[in-house]
Structure 1
Amino acid sequence: MINKNIKKVAVLGSGVMGSRIACHFANIGVQVLLLDIVPKELTVEEQAKGITEQDQSFKNRIVNQSLGTTIRTNPSPVFSKQSLKNITTGNFDDNMKDIAAVDWIIEAVVERLDIKKQVFDQVEQHRQQGTLITSNTSGIPIHLMAEGRSDDFKRHFCGTHFFNPPRYLKLLEIIPTSYTDKAIVDFLMHYGDLFLGKTTVHCKDTPAFIGNRIGVYSMLVVAHLLEQLDLTIEEVDKFTGPAMGHPKSATFRTSDVVGLDTMVNVAKGLYEQVPNDEARELFKLPNYINKLVENKWLGEKTKQGFYKKVKDEKGHSEILVLDLPSMRYRKQQKVKSTTLEETKSIDNLTERMKVYAHGKDKAATLFRAMHYPLFEYISKRVPEITDDFFRIDDAMRAGFGWELGPFQIWDALGVQETIEKMKTEEKRLPGQSGEVASWVSEMLAAGHTSFYKIEDGKRKYYDITSKSYKDIPGTASFIVLDDIRATHTLWKNDGVSIIDLGDGVINAEMHTKMNTIDAAVIEGINKAIDLAEQQYKALIIGNDGPNFSAGANLGMIFTMAVEEKYDELNHAVKLFQDTSMRIRYARIPVVVAPFNLTLGGGCEFSMHADFVQLHAETYMGLVEFGVGVIPGGGGTKEFTQRASDAYREDQIVQNVLKERFLTIGQAKVSTSAVEAFELGYMQKGKYAITMNRSRLLADAKRKALALADAGYTPPSPRKDITVLGKQGLGIVYVGANSMKSGNYISAYDQELSEKLGWVMCGGDVSAPTKVSEAYLLQLERQTFVSLVSQKKTLERIQHMLTTGKPLRN
């Protein structure tokens, strides 16, 4: 692999993909030059302002407007507004010469070969030898773009297909040509994984590569089955959603989000480009899809597709669904399924697949009807689109959000058992014969019963060439708890498993629903600290679930409050606080590894750790105000302490307190790991960001060992925290009253604000005073318990439990 340091990237083309790719490189600190064409003529507005065709504002209008549109999209393509400082815009006429100073050129212009070749002609005039050059394309053969180029260009040229949006979708397909230097391919695979946070998938230069070839096939299978099985749109989306391990948008809502025209274009392209594909006829679109395209009902971009958002007679938003027989929109009907009901109590997705496979209702019938042709199809795409079947699983998980790839699902159902059922399936789609590829039969005949197996805590795949199991390339740096849990678990209760990660490091893995923190979790975290202090070097708190933690178990708090068990509630909050403080003062280093939702108590645990190794996509916040309480697991104390540490003689200290106060009072949640620092949840020098979620636990382990090996000494409990007393409380009261008078907050929000201010200002003290952590924790706990006894807080908690949304009462 070549040793390259990517400091500057040029992105040619500022459309939807170009601008978003530029933003993602800017997120990781790379300097980006974003270029596009010069407009053909001045607009009326430009003429009115006296702008000429020589002005940069005219020449860069297209690129600046495109980037501006991208920046305003939600969710944001950048981790922080600060990332935008890394992007410089320009145009092809004036700035193409500047690509001579970059390390990597990414072409992302319109999907037309002739235009791409024109751009490459310009690139060849200015590009320095040895500079990486890649094309972001979803459909044009990569080898056609390399034709006629210089030898150095060809050696350093490759396809890099980012999935949209690049910040959030993990798939990055790497598509070399026969000319591409292998060292370049290895570099791109590694760089995409480590620095861009991607699942990098090596693809052959075949139509639609891997992700779209299999993903669009699987969506079209369902599209054809819709009519064959007499299903409705909402039934299909209910059956093929989260219960099946697919995204919440399932099948048809995903089509609306992506744009029906996008799927249609890929399908039509495949029909034209794969004349020898046995399932080619399946890429012909069902009539109802053609009707939608004719009507220009393309999904969210046209405000209607399979679904349409409208206002009802009361002005409330409502999402209607398309009734295919009439081609009219109607109210959605409630979908019932015995199979789905049975899957609700099964957390393990592999076991859930078996329920689907053996069910008798519509959901189960669709499951089998969509997976049997898919299994047959993917088996026959090896070695056409890839030599290694596991890359198909990688592409479907990273590009389409499946929790299990198709070969993993096949394994879950039993490979041989499923093949027997596939042979007897009566209703078949175009290209479906019930026969799988010969390599699968040969694998089974040799006594290998599954595509994957776990050996010595590592997941291995069946290698077709050697007819043996091998380590999956690139995974040596990953720690996958699913693979080691069975053999490395030291202790377990209903809330936590303590798992030995080797080298003297153990991990406390939460596994409650949404990883909410209850009595079992508190017991498990404390047990893990006990074990680590007695026998190990360090402790990590992390897991492989969908979210790190949604915070405290509200149901438990609500039950205690309703039953007026205030002594028990006080004790429970004290245990929570004590656990946060044990994380802070344990005799061994404690590293927390948060990702995705890290709310309330999950945030408080992170704030008390020696170090936080967090994933780039971490949505962290103290959100307790939304349910009518203040942070009670040490969060209020911690923000008071951090405000105190930031006070300086040359500043108005009340403003520092106000900033911390508002972060809690407005329940601010970070939209990235970078913003978690900007909001004050993370502290400089005490956190690091991992781009690739698959590397998070391994990175946390390395940091934990580094702290331990450096001769870790726990900090001393704090007794020097400055609180402002009535001086600060006056500011809080005036601010809360002003917000209430302006109707920005309710009367109860005002009361909550005053209670929070009372704790953060030190309670009943008249002047700035130094207090201890223990003192602040007692104030925090007393206030928390007193608020939970209030009717309006109970109303807020109940509303959150029943609707999942905050109530402003």
Structure 2
Amino acid sequence: MKRTIKKVAVIGSGIMGSGIACHFANIGVEVLLLDIVPRELTDAETKKGLTLESKIVRNRLVNEHLANSLKSKPSPIYSQKFANRITTGNTTDDMAKIATVDWIIEVVVERLDIKKMVFEQIEKFRKPGTLVTSNTSGIPIHFMSEGRSEDFQKHFCGTHFFNPARYLKLFEIIPGPQTSTEVLDFLTIYGEKFLGKTSVVAKDTPAFIGNRVGIYGIQSLFHLVKELGLTIEEVDKLTGPVIGRPKSATFRTVDVVGLDTLVHVANGIYENCPNDEQHELFKLPDFVNKMMENKWLGSKTGQGFYKKEGKEILTLDLETMEYRAAKRASFATLELTKTIDKPIDRFKVLVKGKDKAGEFYRKSFAGMFAYVSNRIPEISDELYKIDDAMKAGFGWENGPFEIWDAIGVEKGIEIMKAEGLAPAAWVNDMLAAGSKSFYSIKEGATYFYNIPTKSQTKVPGQDSFIILNNIRESKKVWSNSGAIIEDLGDGILNLEFKSKMNTIGGDVLQAINKGIDLAENEYQGLVIGNQAANFSVGANIGMIFMMAVEQEYDELNMAIKMFQDTMMRVRYSGIPVVVAPHGMTFGGGCEMSLHADKVVAAAETYMGLVEFGVGVIPGGGGSKELALRASDLFHKNDVELNVLQEYFLTIAMAKVSTSGYEAFDSGLLQKGKDIIVVNKDRQIAEAKKHALIMAEAGYTQPIHRTDVKVLGKQALGMFLVGTDQMEAGKYISEHDKKIANKLAYVMAGGDLSEPTLVSEQYLLDLEREAFLSLCTERKTLERIQFMLTKGKPLRN
């Protein structure tokens, strides 16, 4: 049967329930969010003369929870206006409304008796065939559906979102005893395609896949920290970005999630997994019990493993259980990996370390490898699901089996033996059968070792993705030190940056021009996209700084002109150019998107022209382009200044969108032309599709614009008065004012006596002149140097 989701009901509006409701609103689904009726009035309600029968009182809990969620940072919603897709109510008055929805998601407190009561209530009103799922993090699914009707059980399963629902990609689907295959298949596809998730079908075992392995990892570190005499800072240094994990690493992550949450899941595993070979490891260490007694639960209570006092971050000393000043952590082994860009390539070096860091990695990886190998087939029949769960649920760049492959399967076993551990028998069988790795790449697809068949089997669900890691070498057409061009097939090329943080320097600009040359001569279109953490943080400001300090202004002028000319080539080439931004898309990365024929942006795209932070204006066509976009919106003289001012402020305030959708509001993306993809894994394939559509529809090379309306002195006067007032009110510094006035001059088209039609090149020349003049300013050089050394903007 065909199943569509137009409306969902979320029962339970706490942090998780509101987050799930917001994410469905993000993708355009209508949401009914329900919670219980309060048992008593607040003092404020009593003073207002309200009663428990007042609707405002009866919906108080759900409305407060949703409001708090919408105010939280990072935001659970792509755009605040999407919140109007959510209707609130309570489970007493509004439960009958669930008869109109397509999917009911229960997100109430983690108690089986309460969940069963909710399901009994749901069954009274749901229409047959409606999906019902529980967002439990560990209660067995088969207990929940006991006593329910056949139709209910057939359409019931667990759907475990990870918190925060918008940002963490793992979507565990846990079938009950009677769940139909159709429901599992539908939820798997829906999770991937519409929710933008990594769907993983898990077995109905305690804590499922992600938390079973994740909590094991954290608990093992809790014990290792004592065994090796490590500090909290040292463990977080060793388990953060250096091994492809989030900056919050281990202890900071526990503070954010809440120690009580971790303890709840760890206790659940300890109680319900008596046969787990690492059963005793799930016992809580003394320091965790002490923290629970003291209610040092992390961010929610103001202190956990870390505590903020004023501007200082203090760290808990696990020996004394007192807070102290943070200590810098450093290890010789980590120094050896500084020149290795990719975390996956660092593991071989890390496990060879001769210091405490090397010992830590050998012990922690030995334990993890043994543990995950023994969880098959208990929690999953396929090893790739464990890797998918850890990457999507915990933000790991590489899953445990991928890390094991990177170290070498046999080397991993050797490390285990040294720690008195052994892998599951199937790993030795795999080696005996001639397979030396858990994964392999064939014809652009990933294959995994299939234990029952003892052969490499294609990981399902890849057909809708293009995985650049899998085709980078086999489909390479051209490369230089900063970029690589791959053939995506069907006449479409992809240009992928490989510079640090995907910054744009001369080598990347050369690659863009080469990609367009190749596409114009031999192919049909070009995609500019990558699958790194961020699309691009902008131009290589280190290069700009060196030229400016050496006063090589002719060379700097040529470099800026090359940047501008390349962006204009993106706009005016003979083939469609589709740019696929995601993550941080700053400065030059944003300017590239502004000049594309089409932008296929990930929903999680943080886009902005942030050049003010380093003391300059956008110099790669960004200032010109926003002046042009303002001109295209001019309709009546009385609003022209307002339109231009909005675009001016986008640059002057260095506004960065908090999602791809918000970039439409600031004019950096264009409605009716650019599109958003919720699942980043599908982005390159989607960009290729749109490049091909444009090419096959008969792409016509655009004509250079000479009809950009600029307002001259009329706009310039308004901007200069505004910057004077801002400086007088001490909202901006003298140098901020200087930068803003330069931008004003460019976007007004100079001090022309009346509104005039000009060419793009006229505006580009003004932009380049302004950029160059700012590079001669000492305070601009101070800003650039500060950004290069400290990684944050300087206000001077």
Equivalent residue for 2:306?
Answer: 307
Greater alpha carbon shift after TM alignment, 44-53 vs 508-517: 44-53
| Mapping of residues 313-328 of structure 1, within 5 Å | 317-328=311-322
| Mapping of residues 371-770 of structure 1, within 5 Å | 371-425=365-419, 433-649=420-636, 651-770=638-757
Task: Give me the whole-angstrom Cα distance separating, in 2, the residues matched to 1:144 and 1:798.
Answer: 61
Equivalent residue for 1:10?
Answer: 9
Task: Give me the whole-angstrom Cα distance separating, in 2, the residues matched to 1:305 and 1:362.
Answer: 25
Equivalent residue for 1:214?
Answer: 213
| Mapping of residues 88-487 of structure 1, within 5 Å | 88-311=87-310, 317-425=311-419, 433-487=420-474
Runs of 4+ displaced beyond 3 Å? none
Task: Give me the whole-angstrom Cα distance separating, in 2, the residues matched to 1:794 and 1:347.
Answer: 28
Task: Give me the whole-angstrom Cα distance separating, in 2, the residues matched to 1:434 and 1:486.
Answer: 37
Shift of 1:764: 3.3
Kept in 1, the 8 Å contact 2:70–2:80? The answer is no
Shift of 1:744: 1.0
Shift of 1:362: 1.2
Shift of 1:350: 2.4
Shift of 1:37: 0.7
Shift of 1:170: 0.6
Shift of 1:252: 1.0
Task: Give me the whole-angstrom Cα distance separating, in 1, the residues matched to 2:602 and 2:2.
Answer: 25
Task: Give me the whole-angstrom Cα distance separating, in 1, the residues matched to 2:217 and 2:651.
Answer: 45
Task: Give me the whole-angstrom Cα distance separating, in 2, the residues matched to 1:109 and 1:327.
Answer: 35
Partner amino acid for 2:671? K
Shift of 1:576: 0.2
Distance 1:621 1:434, change over 3 A: same
Task: Give me the whole-angstrom Cα distance separating, in 1, the residues matched to 2:564 and 2:37.
Answer: 60
Greater alpha carbon shift after TM alignment, 322-331 vs 547-556: 322-331
3-state SS of paired residue (2:575): coil
Shift of 1:420: 2.6
Shift of 1:650: 6.3
Task: Give me the whole-angstrom Cα distance separating, in 2, the residues matched to 1:521 and 1:487.
Answer: 21
Kept in 1, the 8 Å contact 2:716–2:750? The answer is no
Shift of 1:421: 3.0
Task: Give me the whole-angstrom Cα distance separating, in 2, the residues matched to 1:391 and 1:716.
Answer: 50
Shift of 1:704: 0.8
Shift of 1:795: 1.1
3-state SS of paired residue (2:307): strand
3-state SS of paired residue (1:385): coil
Task: Give me the whole-angstrom Cα distance separating, in 2, the residues matched to 1:278 and 1:753.
Answer: 64
Partner amino acid for 1:200? S
What is the TM-score of this pair, normalised by structure 1?
0.98
After superposition, the C-alpha distances for 1:752-781 in whole angstroms (9 at most, x for unaligned) are 111111111111311000000010000000
Greater alpha carbon shift after TM alignment, 694-703 vs 322-331: 322-331
**What's the RMSD between the two structures over aligned residues?**
0.9
Task: Give me the whole-angstrom Cα distance separating, in 2, the residues matched to 1:527 and 1:106.
Answer: 51
Task: Give me the whole-angstrom Cα distance separating, in 1, the residues matched to 2:298 and 2:278.
Answer: 27
After superposition, the C-alpha distances for 1:120-147 in whole angstroms (9 at most, x for unaligned) are 1111111000001000010111110110
Task: Give me the whole-angstrom Cα distance separating, in 2, the residues matched to 1:227 and 1:663.
Answer: 51
Equivalent residue for 1:799?
Answer: 786
Task: Give me the whole-angstrom Cα distance separating, in 1, the residues matched to 2:246 and 2:67.
Answer: 29
Task: Give me the whole-angstrom Cα distance separating, in 2, the residues matched to 1:333 and 1:69.
Answer: 35
Equivalent residue for 1:429?
Answer: none
After superposition, the C-alpha distances for 1:67-88 in whole angstroms (9 at most, x for unaligned) are 1111111011100011101000
Structure 2, unaligned stretches of length 5 or more?
A: none
3-state SS of paired residue (1:559): helix
Shift of 1:348: 2.7
After superposition, the C-alpha distances for 1:628-654 in whole angstroms (9 at most, x for unaligned) are 111000000000000000000264210
Equivalent residue for 1:428?
Answer: none
After superposition, the C-alpha distances for 1:437-494 in whole angstroms (9 at most, x for unaligned) are 1111111111011100011121111111222111111112111111111211111111
3-state SS of paired residue (1:486): coil
Kept in 1, the 8 Å contact 2:441–2:447? The answer is yes
After superposition, the C-alpha distances for 1:172-221 in whole angstroms (9 at most, x for unaligned) are 10001120001100100110111111011110000000000000001111
3-state SS of paired residue (1:278): coil
3-state SS of paired residue (2:329): coil
| Mapping of residues 49-88 of structure 1, within 5 Å | 49-88=48-87
Partner amino acid for 1:618? T
Partner amino acid for 2:134? S
Equivalent residue for 1:314?
Answer: none
3-state SS of paired residue (1:89): strand
Task: Give me the whole-angstrom Cα distance separating, in 2, the residues matched to 1:808 and 1:325.
Answer: 41
What is the TM-score of this pair, normalised by structure 2?
0.99
3-state SS of paired residue (1:343): coil
Equivalent pairs counted in the alignment come to 796
Partner amino acid for 1:373? G
After superposition, the C-alpha distances for 1:144-177 in whole angstroms (9 at most, x for unaligned) are 0110000000000010000000001111100011
3-state SS of paired residue (1:571): helix
3-state SS of paired residue (2:248): coil
Task: Give me the whole-angstrom Cα distance separating, in 1, the residues matched to 2:563 and 2:293.
Answer: 59
Structure 1, unaligned stretches of length 5 or more?
A: 312-316, 426-432
After superposition, the C-alpha distances for 1:40-87 in whole angstroms (9 at most, x for unaligned) are 122221121122222210110010011111111101110001110100
Task: Give me the whole-angstrom Cα distance separating, in 2, the residues matched to 1:190 and 1:790.
Answer: 55
Partner amino acid for 1:30? V
